[in-house]
Amino acid sequence: MKSMAILFPGQGSQYVGMGKDWYDSDASARDLFIRGDEILGFKLSEICFNGPEEELRQTRNTQPAIFLHSVGVLMSQKNLDPRMAAGHSLGEYSAFVAAGAMEFETALKLVRLRGELMQRAGEENKGTMAAIVGLPNDSLEALCREASPEGIVQPANFNSPGQTVISGSVQGVKKAMELAKQRGAKLVKELVVSGAFHSPLMASAQDGLRKALEETEIHNARFPVYCNVTGEPVTEAGEIRDSLNRQLTSPVRWEQTIKNMVRDGATQFCEIGPGKVLQGLARRTEPSVPVTGIDRFSDVRELAIG
Q: Which residues are catalytic?
A: 89, 198
Q: What is the DSSP string of 69-101?
A: HHHHHHHH-TT--EEEEEESTTHHHHHHHHTTS
CB hemisphere CA count around 64 (13 angstroms): 33
Using alpha carbons, list the distances in angstroms from residue 195 to 119, 130, 173, 293.
7, 11, 12, 29
DSSP 65: H
Please give the angle made by the CA atoms of 196, 198 and 202, to the nearest 5 degrees.
65
Distance CA(242)–CA(213), nearest Å, equals 9
57-61: which pairs have CB atoms within 8 A and are 24 or more residues apart? 57/14, 58/119, 58/194, 59/11, 59/115, 59/116, 59/118, 59/119, 59/122, 59/194, 59/195, 60/112, 60/115, 60/116, 60/119, 61/115
For residue 177, the one-letter residue type is: M
Distance CA(202)–CA(214), nearest Å, equals 18
